[in-house]
Amino acid sequence: MHVETDVLIIGSGGAGMYAAIEAARAGASVFLADRSLIGRGGATVMAQMTVAVALGAETPDHWSHHYDDTLEAGRGLCDERLARLLCEDGPACIRQMDEWGIGWARKDGHIAQVFAPGHDRPRCVYVDFLNTGPAVSKTLRGVVTRAKGIRKAGDLLIVPPESCHWLRWRSAAGLALVFKAPQRAGVGRFPAGKVICRFCPHYKCGCVLPNGFMPQE
Protein backbone atom coordinates (compact mmCIF):
# COMPACT_ATOMS: atom_id res chain seq x y z
CA MET A 1 0.00 0.00 0.00
CA HIS A 2 1.37 3.42 -1.00
CA VAL A 3 0.14 6.60 0.72
CA GLU A 4 0.99 10.20 -0.11
CA THR A 5 -0.17 13.16 1.95
CA ASP A 6 0.49 16.86 2.53
CA VAL A 7 0.64 16.52 6.30
CA LEU A 8 1.50 13.50 8.42
CA ILE A 9 0.59 13.68 12.10
CA ILE A 10 1.98 11.04 14.44
CA GLY A 11 -0.15 10.59 17.52
CA SER A 12 -3.91 11.04 17.77
CA GLY A 13 -4.33 12.40 21.26
CA GLY A 14 -6.04 15.74 21.75
CA ALA A 15 -3.22 17.79 20.21
CA GLY A 16 -2.79 15.43 17.25
CA MET A 17 -6.50 15.38 16.44
CA TYR A 18 -6.78 19.16 16.71
CA ALA A 19 -3.73 19.60 14.48
CA ALA A 20 -5.36 17.29 11.91
CA ILE A 21 -8.58 19.28 12.02
CA GLU A 22 -6.77 22.60 11.55
CA ALA A 23 -4.65 21.28 8.67
CA ALA A 24 -7.72 19.87 6.91
CA ARG A 25 -9.62 23.13 7.38
CA ALA A 26 -6.67 24.92 5.75
CA GLY A 27 -7.03 22.69 2.69
CA ALA A 28 -4.26 20.13 3.28
CA SER A 29 -4.65 16.39 2.90
CA VAL A 30 -3.88 14.77 6.25
CA PHE A 31 -2.75 11.33 7.35
CA LEU A 32 -3.30 10.78 11.09
CA ALA A 33 -1.45 7.79 12.53
CA ASP A 34 -1.31 6.27 16.00
CA ARG A 35 0.22 3.13 17.47
CA SER A 36 -3.03 2.75 19.44
CA LEU A 37 -6.66 3.32 18.46
CA ILE A 38 -7.33 6.69 16.86
CA GLY A 39 -8.36 9.21 19.49
CA ARG A 40 -8.19 6.74 22.36
CA GLY A 41 -4.50 6.82 23.28
CA GLY A 42 -2.22 9.47 24.72
CA ALA A 43 -2.71 11.65 27.78
CA THR A 44 -5.87 13.59 26.90
CA VAL A 45 -8.28 10.69 27.27
CA MET A 46 -6.86 9.99 30.74
CA ALA A 47 -7.18 13.57 31.98
CA GLN A 48 -9.64 14.50 34.70
CA MET A 49 -10.58 17.65 36.60
CA THR A 50 -10.45 21.01 34.77
CA VAL A 51 -8.93 23.07 31.95
CA ALA A 52 -7.59 26.56 32.76
CA VAL A 53 -8.57 29.28 30.30
CA ALA A 54 -9.18 33.04 30.56
CA LEU A 55 -12.78 33.09 29.31
CA GLY A 56 -13.89 35.74 31.78
CA ALA A 57 -17.27 34.04 32.10
CA GLU A 58 -17.22 33.88 35.91
CA THR A 59 -15.25 37.04 36.61
CA PRO A 60 -13.37 39.54 34.37
CA ASP A 61 -10.21 37.96 32.99
CA HIS A 62 -7.65 38.28 30.19
CA TRP A 63 -5.16 35.86 28.69
CA SER A 64 -2.29 38.04 29.98
CA HIS A 65 -3.41 37.44 33.58
CA HIS A 66 -3.48 33.70 32.90
CA TYR A 67 -0.02 33.98 31.37
CA ASP A 68 1.35 35.80 34.42
CA ASP A 69 -0.10 33.15 36.75
CA THR A 70 1.36 30.39 34.60
CA LEU A 71 4.88 31.81 34.68
CA GLU A 72 4.70 32.49 38.40
CA ALA A 73 3.52 28.96 39.17
CA GLY A 74 6.13 27.52 36.79
CA ARG A 75 9.00 29.12 38.75
CA GLY A 76 11.24 29.44 35.72
CA LEU A 77 10.44 26.05 34.18
CA CYS A 78 7.92 27.29 31.58
CA ASP A 79 8.69 27.81 27.92
CA GLU A 80 7.39 31.39 27.74
CA ARG A 81 6.58 31.18 24.03
CA LEU A 82 4.49 28.05 24.45
CA ALA A 83 2.85 29.41 27.60
CA ARG A 84 1.78 32.54 25.72
CA LEU A 85 0.41 30.46 22.84
CA LEU A 86 -1.62 28.34 25.29
CA CYS A 87 -3.01 31.30 27.21
CA GLU A 88 -3.73 33.53 24.21
CA ASP A 89 -5.35 30.90 21.99
CA GLY A 90 -7.08 28.98 24.79
CA PRO A 91 -10.37 30.93 24.96
CA ALA A 92 -11.10 30.52 21.23
CA CYS A 93 -10.34 26.79 21.41
CA ILE A 94 -12.62 26.29 24.42
CA ARG A 95 -15.45 28.14 22.67
CA GLN A 96 -14.86 26.07 19.53
CA MET A 97 -15.12 22.89 21.61
CA ASP A 98 -18.37 24.26 23.05
CA GLU A 99 -19.75 24.74 19.54
CA TRP A 100 -18.76 21.14 18.75
CA GLY A 101 -20.93 19.96 21.62
CA ILE A 102 -18.45 18.92 24.30
CA GLY A 103 -20.87 19.87 27.06
CA TRP A 104 -18.94 22.21 29.34
CA ALA A 105 -20.62 22.56 32.72
CA ARG A 106 -22.75 25.69 32.93
CA LYS A 107 -23.82 28.14 35.61
CA ASP A 108 -26.51 30.79 35.15
CA GLY A 109 -26.39 30.34 31.37
CA HIS A 110 -22.63 30.66 30.90
CA ILE A 111 -19.71 28.22 30.99
CA ALA A 112 -18.89 27.58 34.63
CA GLN A 113 -15.38 28.37 35.90
CA VAL A 114 -13.85 27.37 39.23
CA PHE A 115 -10.70 28.06 41.23
CA ALA A 116 -7.67 25.80 40.96
CA PRO A 117 -4.19 26.06 42.53
CA GLY A 118 -1.94 28.59 40.83
CA HIS A 119 -4.72 30.88 39.60
CA ASP A 120 -5.80 34.19 41.09
CA ARG A 121 -9.45 33.89 40.00
CA PRO A 122 -11.99 31.23 38.93
CA ARG A 123 -10.65 30.25 35.52
CA CYS A 124 -11.01 26.50 35.11
CA VAL A 125 -13.70 24.91 32.94
CA TYR A 126 -14.81 21.29 33.07
CA VAL A 127 -17.35 18.79 31.81
CA ASP A 128 -17.45 17.05 35.14
CA PHE A 129 -14.59 16.54 37.53
CA LEU A 130 -13.88 12.99 36.40
CA ASN A 131 -14.73 13.08 32.70
CA THR A 132 -13.23 16.21 31.14
CA GLY A 133 -10.40 14.47 29.27
CA PRO A 134 -12.55 11.66 27.84
CA ALA A 135 -15.14 14.25 26.75
CA VAL A 136 -12.47 16.26 24.92
CA SER A 137 -11.23 13.12 23.16
CA LYS A 138 -14.72 11.98 22.22
CA THR A 139 -15.63 15.40 20.79
CA LEU A 140 -12.44 15.65 18.72
CA ARG A 141 -12.88 12.08 17.43
CA GLY A 142 -16.29 13.05 16.12
CA VAL A 143 -14.94 16.12 14.34
CA VAL A 144 -12.05 14.13 12.84
CA THR A 145 -14.47 11.49 11.60
CA ARG A 146 -16.69 14.08 9.91
CA ALA A 147 -13.85 16.15 8.46
CA LYS A 148 -12.98 15.83 4.79
CA GLY A 149 -9.36 15.25 3.89
CA ILE A 150 -8.30 13.31 7.01
CA ARG A 151 -7.25 9.68 6.57
CA LYS A 152 -6.56 7.63 9.70
CA ALA A 153 -4.47 4.58 10.57
CA GLY A 154 -4.50 3.06 14.04
CA ASP A 155 -2.26 0.27 15.35
CA LEU A 156 0.53 1.71 13.21
CA LEU A 157 4.01 1.85 14.71
CA ILE A 158 6.17 4.54 13.09
CA VAL A 159 9.94 4.38 13.42
CA PRO A 160 12.59 6.97 12.45
CA PRO A 161 12.87 7.57 8.70
CA GLU A 162 15.83 6.56 6.55
CA SER A 163 15.87 9.97 4.87
CA CYS A 164 14.84 13.48 5.78
CA HIS A 165 13.77 14.27 2.19
CA TRP A 166 11.54 11.29 1.46
CA LEU A 167 10.20 9.90 4.70
CA ARG A 168 9.72 6.12 4.67
CA TRP A 169 8.18 4.11 7.48
CA ARG A 170 7.24 0.47 7.65
CA SER A 171 4.80 -0.97 10.17
CA ALA A 172 4.52 -4.46 11.55
CA ALA A 173 1.65 -4.96 9.12
CA GLY A 174 3.91 -4.08 6.20
CA LEU A 175 2.40 -0.70 5.30
CA ALA A 176 4.91 1.49 3.48
CA LEU A 177 4.18 5.18 3.83
CA VAL A 178 5.97 7.77 1.72
CA PHE A 179 5.46 11.40 2.63
CA LYS A 180 6.55 14.16 0.29
CA ALA A 181 6.39 17.82 1.28
CA PRO A 182 3.78 19.67 -0.83
CA GLN A 183 5.18 21.52 -3.82
CA ARG A 184 2.33 24.01 -4.04
CA ALA A 185 2.08 27.25 -2.10
CA GLY A 186 1.92 27.08 1.67
CA VAL A 187 -1.40 25.99 3.17
CA GLY A 188 -2.35 27.98 6.27
CA ARG A 189 0.45 27.62 8.81
CA PHE A 190 1.98 24.71 6.93
CA PRO A 191 4.81 25.93 4.64
CA ALA A 192 5.40 24.52 1.18
CA GLY A 193 8.44 22.32 0.68
CA LYS A 194 9.17 22.16 4.39
CA VAL A 195 7.40 20.34 7.16
CA ILE A 196 8.47 19.34 10.59
CA CYS A 197 9.64 15.97 11.83
CA ARG A 198 10.47 15.18 15.43
CA PHE A 199 13.10 12.71 14.20
CA CYS A 200 15.18 15.48 12.61
CA PRO A 201 17.31 17.36 15.16
CA HIS A 202 16.94 20.57 13.17
CA TYR A 203 13.16 20.29 12.56
CA LYS A 204 13.74 20.97 8.85
CA CYS A 205 12.43 17.91 7.15
CA GLY A 206 9.34 15.91 7.71
CA CYS A 207 6.05 15.83 9.55
CA VAL A 208 4.07 17.84 12.05
CA LEU A 209 5.34 17.28 15.58
CA PRO A 210 3.32 14.74 17.56
CA ASN A 211 2.16 17.43 19.97
CA GLY A 212 0.88 19.59 17.12
CA PHE A 213 3.33 22.46 17.78
CA MET A 214 5.43 23.69 14.89
CA PRO A 215 8.61 25.60 15.83
CA GLN A 216 9.15 28.88 14.03
CA GLU A 217 12.34 29.70 12.17
Domain positions in the chain = 1-45+134-217, 49-129
- Give the angle 66-67-71 at the CA atoms, nearest 5°: 120
| Greater pLDDT, 112 or 36 | 112
pLDDT value at 179 more than 80:
no
CA distance 60 to 49: 22
Q: How far is CA 138 from CA 5, 14, 38, in A?
A: 25, 9, 11
Quick: pLDDT tens for 15-66.
899 999 999 999 999 999 888 888 888 888 888 889 999 999 889 999 999 9
* Ramachandran class of 92: left when φ > 0, alpha when ψ lies in -120 to 50, beta otherwise: alpha
Homologous superfamily of 1-45+134-217 = FAD/NAD(P)-binding domain (3.50.50.60)
DSSP H helical segments within 1-126, as ranges? 14-25, 63-74, 80-99
Using alpha carbons, select from 60, 57, 63 the residue that is nearest to residue 111: 57
Q: How confident is the model at residue 11 (pLDDT cuts 50, 70, 90)?
A: confident
Strand pairing category for 51-52 and 124-125: antiparallel
Is 0.85 surpassed by the pTM of this model?
A: no
How far is it, in rounded angstroms, from Cα 6 to Cα 170? 18
pLDDT greater than 50 at residue 203:
no
